[in-house]
Amino acid sequence: MDLSEFTIRPDPANPKLTERVSGLDQDGRPVEASVTVERPLTLYLNGQEIVTMMTIADYPDYLAVGYLLNQNMLKRDDRITGIDYDEEIDTVVVRTERATNYEQKLKKKTLTSGCAQGTAFGDVMETFESVRLNPDARLKTSWIYALSKKINLTPSLYLEAGAIHGCVLCQDDRPLVYMEDVGRHNAVDKVAGYMHLHGVPAHDKIFYTTGRLTSEMVIKTVQMGIPILISRSGFTAWGVELGRQANLTMVGRAKGKRFLALAGTDRLDFDADPAAVGDEGGRHQRKGSRDED
């Protein structure tokens, strides 16, 4: 397949991201398997320690900036004067021109619904209600099918070792930035950080995720200003409620020829015949896309 559409995509050959581990299979035979490596990453904003995250640490700069943006600790107009990553002590420091102090905000924590239990600080709805998503954005159903096929055929850590989530920034039927991590909240934050540092506009983009469409996923997508959210997995009730409130187009259970849209359905253009779409091969089916999800 043509991988030139991607600005960033997974690198399953990176030796820092997986390890070979020996064990036994169901028949008691010796086997070797690739497993995903996770490591702690402690984030500082100027001189203040913010959080320690478990991550694969492939893009610590994007993860750090995206996390701070999605926690409303970094403002859109803040001037970032430096991002310093020290691999030896697993630390990343984001420095800004504006003085910051989030002592009170750090006292209020919410464990999110993401795998690896992400943590949100303060009021996660601080800016949600003020966001106005592009009402003129469109989603052709042919794009849903094309994106699903391209993303799931792309070489990835998921196909190499599993135990990981993926998030992809897309435009029309083109996947642009594909990030993976052990928690979907980290993968989202990496995309947010990339968009902010590279000045990527959000009004005409699509956000694709392999994870569930929870309240956390909806809040972060809306805060990023992206009007369309697609997932291979299912929905939570609060996620749908928030999506409808923000006029976010939410498409879930997007697998093979099937999908389900529960919010923002006025943006959909039904330009493809589902009967002409092939079924997915078993190798590319993810746990989060099974029928019962």
Cα–Cα distance for residue pair 245/261, rounded to 1 Å: 15
Q: Please give the DSSP secondary-structure letter assigned to residue 8.
A: B
| Given 53, 115, 213, 246, the catalytic residue | 115
**115 among known catalytic residues:** yes
Contact between residue 139 and residue 206 where contact means Cβ atoms under 8 Å apart: yes
Q: Dihedral, CA atoms, 55, 57, 63, 67, nearest 10 degrees?
A: 30
Tokens 């984030």 locate to 43
SS3 sequence, 211-279? CCECHHHHHHHHHHCCCEEEECCCECHHHHHHHHHHCCEEEEEEECCEEEEEECHHHEECCCCHHHCCC
Instruction: Report angle CA 154, 87, 118 to the nearest 5 degrees.
Output: 65
Q: Catalytic residue positions?
A: 115
